[in-house]
């Protein structure tokens, strides 16, 4: 239901009114319950409207899709507020531990990840919105993390996070048909923190933190395999220097780098568009650089068994973090 709970949609409408971001479970449940038909689940307005079988400005999901089937099963089960034991099952009695439990070891602070902010993008990933638009195209329901992450990364400004199109559009500080959330709201702050952390695909230890019970150790030497070493854009940047010359990608438009790689945020964004996080070895960055056919790429930059290739591949496999 997240995609319905935005300003300009059911977070501001009166017929089926939800709290912005579904912040109040009890109120949102009561509002939703008025749109279900327990006697005829498939005839529920909630489902008919969302699939445009009844009047609605856009299609939220299709009949038979994962959201549709999940909501239908919920209504068929009586649309309960809380989970209940399945009919015929007997609740198990918890076993009282005979020994004191060991205190949980504190977890290592980590940076935000794409997964942690993904819920705040759900409202954009519906048909009629960014699931069908071409400028900022998301997969319906955010079904493809790698593709949606790449699309979202093009809307962020690592050099000036608050000026990211992602935030300015969603808050209607620049042209957008509706306001998704407000400046200072929970979604805004979460997305801003993520961008400020470099908009990483995967979470990583926060800067300066050390996993509990361990001590900091020096990075592996250049001769070590270093397969578990955490890589950043700065660590792989030297392998891209040869591409940033004027006459090469320092002047081209499709994959444009600043001459000498002097603008890290801009160059990073450009490099990210050449990566395939779902299939790192298929990344255009690597395929072009190792291309033997000069019709595909004018020069071979390095081989597949070279250090630059291995380092870049390892970085992409780690989510290609900025820092």
CB 320 within 8 A of CB 275: yes
Within-domain flag for 101: no
Last-in-domain residue among 17, 49, 76: 76
Within-domain flag for 298: yes
Last-in-domain residue among 46, 76, 106: 76
**pTM of the full structure:** 0.45
Residues 237 and 312 in one domain: yes
Number of domains in the chain: 3
Residues 191 and 255 in one domain: no
Residues 185 and 240 in one domain: no
The residue written with tokens 């935030």 in the block is: 167
| Alpha carbon distance 152, 156 (integer Å) | 7
**Of the listed ranges 136-150, 185-199, 234-248, 299-313, the one predicted with least confidence:** 234-248
Residues 241 and 305 in one domain: yes
Last-in-domain residue among 76, 106, 125: 76
| Alpha carbon distance 123, 60 (integer Å) | 9
Note down the domain range covering 35. 2-76
Within-domain flag for 265: yes
Residues 181 and 133 in one domain: yes
**In angstroms, how far is CA 122 from the centroid of its own chain?**
10
Within-domain flag for 323: no
Mind listing the pLDDT tens digit for each residue in 153-190?
888 888 888 999 999 988 888 888 777 778 888 888 98
Confidence at 43, pLDDT banded by 50, 70, 90: very high
> Reduced to 3 states, what is the DSSP secondary structure of residue 203?
coil
Within-domain flag for 213: no
Instruction: Round to the nearest angstrom and report the end-to-end CA distance of the chain.
Output: 34
Residues 130 and 186 in one domain: yes
**Is residue 137 pLDDT above 70, yes or no?**
yes
Q: Which residues contact 247 (CB under 8 A, 6 or more apart)?
A: none
Which residues on adjacent β-strands are paired with residue 160? none
CA distances, 140 to each of 18, 123, 130, 153, 271 (Å): 22, 10, 8, 17, 25
Confidence at 308, pLDDT banded by 50, 70, 90: confident
Mind listing the pLDDT tens digit for each residue in 60-97?
777 887 778 889 999 998 888 887 666 555 554 444 44
């Amino acid at each position: 239901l997240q995609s319905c709970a935005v300003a300009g949609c059911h977070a501001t409408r009166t017929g089926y009114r939800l709290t912005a971001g579904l912040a109040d479970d009890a109120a949102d449940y009561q509002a939703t319950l008025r749109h279900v038909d327990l006697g005829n689940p498939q005839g529920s307005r909630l489902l008919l409207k969302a699939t445009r079988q009844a009047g609605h400005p856009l299609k939220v999901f299709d009949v038979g899709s994962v959201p549709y089937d999940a909501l239908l099963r919920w209504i068929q089960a009586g649309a309960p507020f809380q989970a209940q034991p399945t009919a015929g099952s007997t609740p198990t009695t918890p076993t009282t531990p005979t020994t004191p439990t060991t205190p949980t070891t504190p977890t290592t602070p980590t940076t935000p990840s794409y997964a942690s902010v993904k819920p705040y993008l759900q409202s954009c990933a519906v048909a009629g919105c960014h699931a069908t638009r071409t400028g900022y195209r998301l997969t319906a329901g955010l079904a493809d993390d790698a593709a949606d992450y790449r699309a979202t990364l093009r809307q962020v400004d690592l050099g000036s996070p608050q000026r990211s199109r992602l935030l300015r559009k969603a808050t209607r500080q620049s042209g957008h048909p509706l306001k998704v959330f407000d400046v200072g709201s929970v979604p805004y702050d979460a997305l801003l923190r993520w961008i400020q952390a470099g908009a990483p695909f995967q979470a990583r230890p926060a800067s300066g933190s050390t996993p509990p019970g361990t001590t900091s150790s020096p990075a592996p030497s250049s001769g070590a395999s270093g397969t578990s070493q955490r890589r950043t854009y700065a660590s792989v940047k030297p392998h891209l220097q040869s591409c940033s010359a004027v006459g090469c990608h320092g002047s081209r438009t499709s994959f444009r780098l600043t001459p000498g790689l002097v603008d890290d945020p801009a160059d990073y964004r450009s490099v990210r568009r050449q990566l395939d996080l779902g299939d790192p070895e298929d990344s255009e960055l690597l395929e072009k650089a190792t291309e033997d056919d000069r019709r595909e790429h004018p020069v071979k930059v390095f081989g597949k068994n070279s250090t630059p290739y291995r380092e870049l591949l390892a970085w992409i496999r780690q989510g290609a973090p900025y820092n």
